[in-house]
């Protein structure tokens, strides 16, 4: 049996990624002339849209590298059959990281204080109290370090994976040394991931939009949101490649496990969503409920509960059955639904804070999102062509082939 190791980008795929990216660029330009040149409110609508889209899609592709490192640390083997897909998705961190880095730095260096109020604390005691953390210098340095760290450590993990491609099989000793090396670099990535995505970065980039408000669940919540969307993205690419006739070694057993991830982390996201909401609802302290006021009782009520239905009720009921996790069509539908749902979650996390009175969800949001989707497609597709689709010399590769759920 021979395998198709070399991915060739289908013309249709390339065309669609180009079209989507073009839509994104046009939307940004049109959005700039519609909103970007307007008053403070319009201006923050423009920058807010760029902010939540770029951060969301970057964290989603970064979740792919988190998945690689977490499974490496757990000595997991099942994912090795589609390891190259996760690696390819994580290369999109480079362009997306640069774009979101530029957007974030523009917000701070351009003194967009109607987005980040803490840029000009004035006499505000609360903001002054937080200024040791929430200040422009720290924001800039930490943003650059975070994104740079993800790009560097991710590239290192991919390089380690590539270095055993063109050689004979590893001996037992070499295999052990290789796993150890993987473990070391994966743990470094995870530590950095914990210090950034799972704690400080959502505080700095997103939670500080409500500079007076805070929630201890916020970073976990953001992580859960992007991780479940990241797993859905991996599922989409794996099924796409299978439909194109690649990844012969991946079968419904692997897809079943990816479906389990989508199911389990949808529930995990809900757990955090609820923990954040319930404690604030119960205590009913004005400075905490301010975050939920316009979301639950204001104009965002519909989106707020739609969010819960799409991201919790639907995955819970639809993905619960074993047969639905083994049904490719249903998995594609659910993966797309989950990604859209968490994109909507990010929308309400950012835009509901910036524009409390009016809900505006229009071509600009969808256009910018389409642009990022196109960029992910383009960058992942290119990365897939760069190396063999089968990580055949990895010590756990056989374990993945005979994987059985």
**Could you tell me which stretch among 32-40, 238-246, 280-288, 336-344 binds another protein (CB under 8 A)?**
280-288
Relative orientation angle of helices 252-283 and 328-354, to the nearest 10 degrees: 30
What is the SS3 assignment for 181?
Answer: helix
Work out how close the CB of 49 gets to another protein at its nearest, in angstroms, rounded to a whole number. Answer: 31
Q: Report the C-alpha gap between 58 and 370 in whole angstroms.
A: 14
Residue placing its CB nearer to another protein in the complex, 166 or 323: 323
Residue placing its CB nearer to another protein in the complex, 152 or 281: 281
Give the number of C-alpha atoms closer than 13 A to the C-alpha of residue 296, restricted to the C-beta side: 10
The full DSSP string for 288-349 is HHHHHHHHHSSTTHHHHHHHHIIIIIHHHHHSSSHHHHT-HHHHHHHHHHHHHHHHHHHHHH
Give the number of C-alpha atoms closer than 13 A to the C-alpha of residue 131, restricted to the C-beta side: 13
Q: Report the C-alpha gap between 296 and 392 in whole angstroms.
A: 51
**Could you tell me which stretch among 215-223, 271-279, 341-349, 393-401 binds another protein (CB under 8 A)?**
271-279
Work out how close the CB of 287 gets to another protein at its nearest, in angstroms, rounded to a whole number. Answer: 17
Reported as type and span, the H/E element at residue 172 is helix 172-195
286 part of the interface to another protein, by CB under 8 A = no
Residues with Cβ < 8 Å from 127, sequence gap 6 or more?
A: 117, 118, 121, 134, 211, 212
220 part of the interface to another protein, by CB under 8 A = no
Residue of the chain from 16, 32, 133, 274 that contacts another protein (CB under 8 A): 274
Work out how close the CB of 252 gets to another protein at its nearest, in angstroms, rounded to a whole number. Answer: 13
Work out how close the CB of 311 gets to another protein at its nearest, in angstroms, rounded to a whole number. Answer: 16
Residue of the chain from 281, 309, 313, 360 that contacts another protein (CB under 8 A): 281
Q: Report the C-alpha gap between 108 and 83 in whole angstroms.
A: 37
Cβ atoms 405, 258 nearer than 8 A: no
Work out how close the CB of 294 gets to another protein at its nearest, in angstroms, rounded to a whole number. Answer: 18
Work out how close the CB of 349 gets to another protein at its nearest, in angstroms, rounded to a whole number. Answer: 19
How far, in whole angstroms, is CA 275 from its chain's centroid? Answer: 21
Residue placing its CB nearer to another protein in the complex, 276 or 379: 276
**Could you tell me which stretch among 116-124, 127-135, 220-228, 281-289 binds another protein (CB under 8 A)?**
281-289
277 part of the interface to another protein, by CB under 8 A = yes
Residue placing its CB nearer to another protein in the complex, 174 or 253: 253
314-353: which residues touch another protein (CB under 8 A)?
320, 322
Q: Report the C-alpha gap between 52 and 161 in whole angstroms.
A: 32
Work out how close the CB of 293 gets to another protein at its nearest, in angstroms, rounded to a whole number. Answer: 15
Residue placing its CB nearer to another protein in the complex, 271 or 328: 271
Residue of the chain from 2, 166, 171, 284 that contacts another protein (CB under 8 A): 284
Q: Which residues in this chain contact another protein in the complex, by CB under 8 A? A: 274, 277-278, 281-282, 284, 320, 322, 404
């Amino acid at each position: 049996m021979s395998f198709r190791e070399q991915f060739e980008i289908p013309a249709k795929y390339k065309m669609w990624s180009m079209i989507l990216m073009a839509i994104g660029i046009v939307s940004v330009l049109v959005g700039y002339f519609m909103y970007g040149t307007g008053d403070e409110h319009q201006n923050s609508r423009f920058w807010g849209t760029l902010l939540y889209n770029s951060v969301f899609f970057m964290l989603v592709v970064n979740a792919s590298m988190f998945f690689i490192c977490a499974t490496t640390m757990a000595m997991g083997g099942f994912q090795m059959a589609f390891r190259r897909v996760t690696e390819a998705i994580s290369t999109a961190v480079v362009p997306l990281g640069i774009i979101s880095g530029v957007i974030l730095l523009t917000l701070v260096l351009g003194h967009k204080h109607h987005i980040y109020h803490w840029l000009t604390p004035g006499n505000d005691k609360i903001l002054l109290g937080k200024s040791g953390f929430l200040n422009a210098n720290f924001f800039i340095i930490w943003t650059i370090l975070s994104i740079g760290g993800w790009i560097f450590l991710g590239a290192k993990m991919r390089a380690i994976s590539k270095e055993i491609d063109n050689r004979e099989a590893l001996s037992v000793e070499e295999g052990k040394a290789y796993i150890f090396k993987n473990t070391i670099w994966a743990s470094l990535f995870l530590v950095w991931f914990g210090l950034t995505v799972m704690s400080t970065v959502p505080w700095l980039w997103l939670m500080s939009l409500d500079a007076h408000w805070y929630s201890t669940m916020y970073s976990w919540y953001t992580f859960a949101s992007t991780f479940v969307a990241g797993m859905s993205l991996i599922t989409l690419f794996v099924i796409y490649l299978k439909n194109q006739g690649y990844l012969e070694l991946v079968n419904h057993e692997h897809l079943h496990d990816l479906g389990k991830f989508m199911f389990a982390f949808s529930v995990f996201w809900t757990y955090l969503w609820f923990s954040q909401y319930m404690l604030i609802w119960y205590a009913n302290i004005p400075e905490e409920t301010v975050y939920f006021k316009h979301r639950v009782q204001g104009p965002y009520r519909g989106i707020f509960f739609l969010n819960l239905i799409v991201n919790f009720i639907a995955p819970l009921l639809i993905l619960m059955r074993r047969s639905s996790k083994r049904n490719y069509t249903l998995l594609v539908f659910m993966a797309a639904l989950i990604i859209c749902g968490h994109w909507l979650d990010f929308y309400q996390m950012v835009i509901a804070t910036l524009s409390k009175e009016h809900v505006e969800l229009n071509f600009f949001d969808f256009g910018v999102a389409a642009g990022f989707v196109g960029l992910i497609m383009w960058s992942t597709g290119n990365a897939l062509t760069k190396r063999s689709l089968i990580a055949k010399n990895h010590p756990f590769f056989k374990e993945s082939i005979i994987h059985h759920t």
